[in-house]
């Protein structure tokens, strides 16, 4: 279904507009995705766990969309259930499973609870949300499911080991689903941003790393490329700047041990340049 195309099924947005669900929508790439859907004729169900969600929802309504904000922490199974319940009776035309979290530091130093938090959000909630959404889309014979993967999925994540592994899971999961639903009328898209100017690195405790202090990609441009890809039914792409896309090409040919060593130089604590470390 193209943006703005009228829909006849019950449970659509106001005036029969198509409906998009976006997780992690209070800021960053998720908010920019939601904004693009709103500007292209979609009503929205937006989710995040933080108190910025209502402010984001108000801004999205200014774009003319009907917006339902569901504040829920998807690391908690009850939060996933709350979001699934909020879509009951609705026809979700596009679902963007974007919520994610990272954790920097040596694996031997990180708190096991923080490691588990990465797995719970990036892996477990993604699987639990994808199941009912994809079932409904396949039953209708139409729909678009998109995953925020990461260029990190293509490399061993020294000093960010659980995060990179979680994104490798998302990438493999998305590509497996692409094959499963290829003849159903449903498309599955995964997009792989590089370092992006969001709150990710602060939340991951990586402000003293080279990657945490370097210049980053614009989340609005990352979202624009991802939006265009999902509307065209593309399977996967690296999103962001020319530098990020070049890294994606290099990662296809570099040995894993080389990529792990490069990642260490970017993500090991204390690698931030002295003039930026403050």
Number of compact structural domains in the chain: 1
pLDDT digits (tens, 9 = 90+) for 39-66: 999 999 999 999 999 999 999 999 899 9
Give the residues of the chain that fall short of pLDDT 70.
Answer: 1-15, 275-278
Q: What pLDDT score was predicted for residue 16?
A: 82
Q: Report if residue 6 sits inside a domain.
A: no
Q: Report if residue 278 sits inside a domain.
A: no
42 catalytic, yes or no?
Answer: no
Q: Report if residue 101 sits inside a domain.
A: yes
Q: What pLDDT score was predicted for residue 275?
A: 61
Catalytic residue among 163, 169, 200, 201: 163
Q: Report if residue 242 sits inside a domain.
A: yes
Q: Report if residue 145 sits inside a domain.
A: yes
**CATH number, domain containing residue 30:** 3.40.50.720
**Listing from the earlier edge strand, what are the strands of the sheet with 67-71?**
67-71, 43-48, 19-23, 94-97, 143-148, 186-193, 236-239
Give the domain range for residue 203. Answer: 14-267
Q: Report if residue 244 sits inside a domain.
A: yes
Q: Report if residue 9 sits inside a domain.
A: no
Q: Report if residue 273 sits inside a domain.
A: no
């Amino acid at each position: 279904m193209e943006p703005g195309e009228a829909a006849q099924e019950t449970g659509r947005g106001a005036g029969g507009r198509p409906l998009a669900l976006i997780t992690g929508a209070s800021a960053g790439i998720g908010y920019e995705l939601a904004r693009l859907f709103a500007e292209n004729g979609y009503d929205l169900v937006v989710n995040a766990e933080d108190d910025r969600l209502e402010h984001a929802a108000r801004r999205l309504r200014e774009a003319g969309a009907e917006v339902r904000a569901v504040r829920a922490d998807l690391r908690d199974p009850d939060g996933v259930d709350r979001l699934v319940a909020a879509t009951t009776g609705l026809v979700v035309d596009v679902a963007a499973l974007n919520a994610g979290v990272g954790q920097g530091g040596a694996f031997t130093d990180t708190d096991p609870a923080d490691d588990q938090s990465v797995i719970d959000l990036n892996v477990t909630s993604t699987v639990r949300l994808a199941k009912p959404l994809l079932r409904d889309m396949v039953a209708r014979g139409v729909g678009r499911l998109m995953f925020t993967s990461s260029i990190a999925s293509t490399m061993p994540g020294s000093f960010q080991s659980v995060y990179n592994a979680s994104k490798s899971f998302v990438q493999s999961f998305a590509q497996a689903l692409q094959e499963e639903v290829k003849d159903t009328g449903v498309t599955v898209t995964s997009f792989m941003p590089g370092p992006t100017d969001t709150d990710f690195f602060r939340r991951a405790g990586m402000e003293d790393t080279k990657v945490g202090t370097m210049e980053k990609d614009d989340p609005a441009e990352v979202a624009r490329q991802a939006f265009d890809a999902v509307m065209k039914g593309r399977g996967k792409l690296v999103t962001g700047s020319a530098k990020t896309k070049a890294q994606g090409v290099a990662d296809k040919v570099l040995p894993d041990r080389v990529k792990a060593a490069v990642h260490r130089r970017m993500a090991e604590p204390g690698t931030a340049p002295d003039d930026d470390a403050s």
